Amino acid sequence: MTTIEKRNKIKNTIESFSNEQLEETMSFIEQIKENDEKRKDYIKGLLKKEKNLFERFAK
């Protein structure tokens, strides 16, 4: 399946959704985005801690 076919399939599926289904889908997408932001923040924090640790070892 090509990218265009996938995009059209998704578009047709979304167009067939009721308003309630659209709201649920948007809510689900927002939750995923929020979780991704939390993961990014967590990883950034780990990288900073690791950087500080290596800097201390280098001294």
The per-residue pLDDT for 9 is: 95
Per-residue pLDDT in tens (0 to 9) along the chain, 59 residues: 899 999 999 999 989 999 999 999 999 999 999 999 999 999 999 998 888 877 887 77
The per-residue pLDDT for 16 is: 94
Q: How many helices (H) and strands (E) would you count in the chain?
A: 2, 0
Spatial contact of 53 and 45, defined as CB atoms under 8 Å apart: no
The per-residue pLDDT for 56 is: 80
The per-residue pLDDT for 5 is: 96
| Domain range list for the chain | 3-58
CA 59 to chain centre: 38
C-alpha to C-alpha distances, 30 to 7, 20, 51, 53, 59, nearest whole angstrom = 20, 15, 31, 35, 44
Token pair, residue 49, equals: 């801690």
